[in-house]
Each structure stands twice: as structure tokens, then as C-alpha cells.
Structure 1
Amino acid sequence: MDGARAAEPFDILVVVQAGRLQYEAVLFAASLRAMSPGFAGRLFLAEPQPGPLWSRDPRISDDATRALLRELGAEFLPFESRHFGDSYPYGNKIEALAALPGDRPFVFFDTDTLVTGELAEVPFDFDRPSASLRREGTWPMLELYGPGYTDIWRSLYDKFGLDFETSLDLTEPDEFWRRYLYFNAGFFYHRDAHAFGRRFLDYALAIRDDPPRELVCQSLDPWLDQVALPLVIHSFGGGRHTLPPGYLDGRTTCHYRLLPLLYAREDDRVVEVLEQVAAPNRIKKVLKGHEAAKRLIFQGRGRKLRALFDRDALPRREQALRNRIKKAGYWIR
């Protein structure tokens, strides 16, 4: 490991709103403090403010939740929604970057992430950004007689004056989705939040408002952030493997997405961390306001769900796993 690089200070950005995300933020902050005592940066909870793009106030209204998050070391970071809001809440992660301090490296995480190891030991190269490779081939969805992967992705690289050929993984076959740079936006990082955020916003708006003709049959909801993100990362000299494997989405963090999925598919260590950090009374009291946490963690239904699945023989696609959980009666959001 490059010790100097691993020790470089950085901040963490998570986006919060009222509802499920506020409880996920509690689990994230609690796991960060419990599992990563060496983290020396600031934990920012970016919170969209009410405005014309929101049909109701998106902020956390529960005082006990806000107090607990502050007790866990989080700092609320208000930001204005100028381009997305209700119409595309995934855009929060794009617009929130402008509110971060611009003079320190950052790592963005989705709220539905659990910290399971020491983040201070992750050898980030903030000059070569990357993002989560724990993804499926969700975009583009090819139409019969329509353009293929190469034509679709090339049109986007051309739109922004980027070198398409150097983005390809030539170990993968032509017209197979893994050949093309594609990430899950559950985490990403860079040295400069403002520069990264401006470019992310510019690319996302240009794709949304003036897409290449090759995208005419493609849905951008909810995929817009994941379509723009690889272009942004490539433009800053990043790529797939600038972070050694096994850290994020591995032994240091877990992007579980929803609690039923966590109990069904994640390894024993993740379940142990979840239940450990949720156990203190001050945390349990707040989490009991979330139906999924109350039933799956505190009433033991998560363990019963877990017993139904063989982690070595899970469905290959997440949707199939979701369907099996729903059929068994354990799907709780």
C-alpha cells in the first residue's frame, strides 16, 4: 500500500432527505464512527432546501434524528436545487458537490452504504477518479434494429470531445456492456469537488436537454447520473481500476441498497456490523421510526429472511433476488 497516499485527508459527502434516507444516514454515520476511527476528515450531510423544484420540504424534520446525526459527527450542508429536485432526485448528488469545500479531496457515498473497515487505509488516488464497479448492465437497453453499445457510447464521447477508444476495456468482446466504461454511482471521488461537480452538472444537463440522436430510444430516468459519470471520470483522467480492488464494495464498505437485500446477499461481516452499530439505545430509538429497520433488525425478521437464501447460489440479477424476497413476504423498504 502507498502509505502517503492512503493517509491523504479527505472529506465524505452523503446526501440526506426526509424519509428512508435519514435512517440510512444514521447507519452510515454510526458505522463510520465505529469501524473507521482513523478517518480524520469531515462528514458532510448535504440536504436539499425547499424551493420551486420540490413539491414538499425535503429536509429532515425529526429533531431527534438531526441531533443524533450531529452527535455522530455529521455536519449538515444545505444546498439549493436549481436543475433537478422532485423530477430527478438522483440529481442531488450532482448539485450537492458545489456546496462542499473545494480545497480538499472528497469521496461521495450513497446513504445506503455501510462502513465495515478503516477508510483511512484506502489508497485513493484523487488525481485519477473512479466509481463503483458493483453494477449490472442496466444502460443502455438496446432496441431491435437500433444503435448498439459502441454507437451509443461513442456518440456521448464525441459530444464532449473525449477520446472514446481509450475508455474501452479491450479484454471484453465488442458489443458486450462491460467493454464500455460504466459505473454505479454509489460512490465516486476526486481531488476537487467544485471542478468535478461543475463538469458533472454540465454533462448531465447537456445529455438530458440535448441528447445525441443515438439516444432517442433510451431512457435517462433513473440512469442519467450513471450515463454522465463515466464521461466525467474519463475527462479527469480516471477509469476503472485506479483504486485497487477489495476496498470499497469490499472489506471497507458495502453498498447494500436496501435492508432486505443486505440480509439476503451480503456476507456475515456486513450483517454483524449492521446489528452492532444499530444496537446502542440512542441509535435504536431513532431507527425504530423506520419500519424496515424495526422489523428486520430489531424484531429479527432479517435473520429469518437470511436463512432462506444460500449466499453461494443467489440469482445473478438483482431484480430476480428482489422478486424472491417479495414472494417470501420480506420486502420492506
Structure 2
Amino acid sequence: MTEKTEETGRFTLVCIGQDGRLGYEAIILAATLRAADPGFRGRLIVAEPQPGPLWRRDPRMGAPVKTALADLGAEILPFENRVFGDAYPEGNKIEVLTALPEDAPFIFFDTDTLFTGPLSEVPFDFDRPAASMRREGTWPDPPLYGPGYGAIWKALYDRFGLSFEPTLDLDQPAEHWERYLYFNAGWFFHRDPRAFGQRFADFARTIRDEEIEALASQVLFPWLDQIALPLVIHSFGGGRPGPGLSGLDGGVSCHYRALPLLYARESDAAVAALEAAVAPNRIKKVLKDYEPAKRLIYQGHGAKIRKAFDRAALPRREQAIRKRIRDMGLWLR
């Protein structure tokens, strides 16, 4: 491996902050990072899209949220949307990369992430990008009479002049979705944020705008980032994460996605890390304005959700978990 975090510890951690939910989630991310990794020496950047023609309303965070983030050592990075915006807010994670500092490798995390262990001890190889494997077979959805998984994915690799066969997991059977390189875009990393971001944007825009015959029956949204991401990672010589990255989506980070889901299905360590990190009054006074945090964390209703689920025997489908929480009147987002 080449340079890793243990060599300098100086990489950029970036997430997206916007008015509403994402701003409050950014506080949780920052607070748990500082608690779990007090020796973190990298830059924590909360990237904020700016008002413009691609937004129907002002996406910027409010002053109390920005103050709380600054108190936690986060830098607010304004950036402009030129491709996506309101029509596809998931595209923020693509567009922000070209606005990042060039002098350090990056790791992007979805904002609905918290930390339970020291990120600075994860042995990243920034020359070999990877992304989260905590995913389901959400895309593609092959039609009954074809094309199948293999033909759909191969058409994309061919479109961008990339080799297809080296990406296959041959331990999985043909036409099983896990045979093909597919990630959750909840975290990903590389050495060069601007080169990665430009290619990510180019690939995503091409998939969105061009007529690729094998994709004719496919729904591209909201999966566009996850369709393009494997192609980008493979193009930079990366692939599936190795065992050294097992702490991500494990003992170091938790992509909880929504606070009700965190209380329903995540580990005791994740819940404890959340509640301890946001207990200080300077954080509480801001987060209590966010209804899910107010009711689930500070008023204790998260414990009710937790008692309603056996984490050793969770429903197989997330939809069933959500329904049970809704029936309790506690699906808050």
C-alpha cells in the first residue's frame, strides 16, 4: 500500500449540510467524530450548496446550526450546483468533490452517519478507492425477457471503455446481483477529490442524458449515484473494500439513515455513542429544534422503538421496520 492515514492522518472528511434535516445530522456526525476520535487531525468539512437556479429555495443552513458545527471544529464549505440541485439532491455528493481542497485525499460520508470508533486508525489506501458494501440489490431491475444483470452492467462498462470481467465476484452465481460491482454511496474515498469528482459527474451525466439501449427499461433515480460509483471506482483502480476497512459500517462508523431506524436496528454501541455525544447543553440547545432528535433522543421515545424490536430477529425488509415505527407514531424524519 501507499500512503495511509497512519502516515499523516491528514485527509479531508466531507459531508453535506443543508437547511433542515441534513444540518442537524451534520451536528451529530461532527459530535460523534470528536467524541470517538479525539486525535483526529484531518479536516472536517460540511459542504453547503448555495442558492441558485437549480434550487427552488435557499438550501443554506441556519446560523445556530453553523455555530454548533464551528464549535465542533467543522469548516463550512460553500459550493455551487451546476448539474443537479433540487432535481437530484443526491448529486450533491458528486458536485462537492470538485470544490474540495486539492492538497489532501478525501473520504465522503453521508451526513446520516455517526462514529463509534477512531476513524484516524482506519488504514485507508487512498490510491485504491472503495465504497460501502452495506447495500441491497436496488439496481438494476432486469425485465423478465432481458437484458439481465450482466448485460446491463456490461453495457455501462463498455460505454466508458472499462474492463468488465475483473469487477465480477465469481463466488456469486451469474445473474445474481452481488456478482456485479455495486456499492452503497454512504461512504467512498480517493486520493484526488477533483479528478474523482469530475469523472463521477461526467459518468453520472452521461448515464442520465444518453440513450443506452440496455438501460431503456431501467429507472435511474434515485440510484444514479450508485450506478455511476462502481464505474468511477473501477476506473481509478479500486474495487470492493478489503478487511482493513471493516470498521466502516462496523466498529468505527454507522450509517443509520434515519434516527428511528437507528433505534430500531443499530448496535447498543451506536446508540450509546449518539446519546453521549449530543448530551452537552451547547449541542442539545440546537438539536432540540429538530423534532426527531427532540422526541427520540431527549424525550426518550427512541427507547420505546428499541424495545419494540429484537435486533437478533429483525424483519428482513426495511419497509416492515418502518411500518411498525409508523404504527407507533414515531416515524420522524
TM interval, shorter chain, is over 0.9
- Count, aligned residues: 332
Corresponding residue number in structure 2 for 1:173: 173
Following the alignment from structure 2 to structure 1, what is the Cα–Cα distance between the partners of residues 4 and 227?
Answer: 33
In the superposition, relative to structure 1, how do residues 94 and 309 fare at CA in structure 2: closer, same or farther (>3 Å)?
same
Residue 183 of structure 1 contacts residue 230 of structure 1 at CA under 8 Å; is this kept in 2?
yes
Structure 1 residues 200-240: Cα deviation after superposition (integer angstroms, max 9, x where no partner) = 00000000000411111111110000000000000011111
- 2:266 is the counterpart of 1:254: no
Find the residue that maps to 1:249 and give its secondary structure: coil
Residue 128 of structure 1 contacts residue 242 of structure 1 at CA under 8 Å; is this kept in 2?
no
TM-score by length of 1: 0.97
How far off its partner does 1:140 sit?
Answer: 0.6
In the superposition, relative to structure 1, how do residues 126 and 242 fare at CA in structure 2: closer, same or farther (>3 Å)?
farther
Following the alignment from structure 1 to structure 2, what is the Cα–Cα distance between the partners of residues 179 and 245?
Answer: 20
- 2:312 is the counterpart of 1:281: no
In the superposition, relative to structure 1, how do residues 43 and 328 fare at CA in structure 2: closer, same or farther (>3 Å)?
same
Give the alignment of 1:77-116 within 5 angstroms: 77-116=77-116
How far off its partner does 1:3 sit?
Answer: 9.8
Following the alignment from structure 2 to structure 1, what is the Cα–Cα distance between the partners of residues 252 and 321?
Answer: 24
Corresponding residue number in structure 1 for 2:215: 215
Corresponding residue number in structure 2 for 1:21: 22
TM-score by length of 2: 0.97
Following the alignment from structure 1 to structure 2, what is the Cα–Cα distance between the partners of residues 292 and 47?
Answer: 22
Find the residue that maps to 2:126 and give its secondary structure: coil
Residue 5 of structure 2 contacts residue 120 of structure 2 at CA under 8 Å; is this kept in 1?
no
Corresponding residue number in structure 2 for 1:134: 134
Give the alignment of 1:153-164 within 5 angstroms: 153-164=153-164
Query: Structure 1: which amino acid aligns with 2:277?
Result: V
Corresponding residue number in structure 2 for 1:241: 241
Unaligned runs of 5+ in 1: none
Give the alignment of 1:178-217 within 5 angstroms: 178-217=178-217
Query: Structure 2: which amino acid aligns with 1:15?
Result: I
In the superposition, relative to structure 1, how do residues 182 and 219 fare at CA in structure 2: closer, same or farther (>3 Å)?
same
Find the residue that maps to 1:43 and give its secondary structure: strand
Following the alignment from structure 1 to structure 2, what is the Cα–Cα distance between the partners of residues 155 and 324?
Answer: 40
Unaligned runs of 5+ in 2: none
Identity %: 63
Following the alignment from structure 2 to structure 1, what is the Cα–Cα distance between the partners of residues 311 and 6?
Answer: 32
Residue 38 of structure 1 contacts residue 119 of structure 1 at CA under 8 Å; is this kept in 2?
no
**Higher mean C-alpha displacement, 222-231 vs 3-12:** 3-12
- 2:286 is the counterpart of 1:297: no
Corresponding residue number in structure 2 for 1:36: 37
In the superposition, relative to structure 1, how do residues 150 and 310 fare at CA in structure 2: closer, same or farther (>3 Å)?
same
How far off its partner does 1:243 sit?
Answer: 5.4
How far off its partner does 1:278 sit?
Answer: 1.1
In the superposition, relative to structure 1, how do residues 183 and 7 fare at CA in structure 2: closer, same or farther (>3 Å)?
same
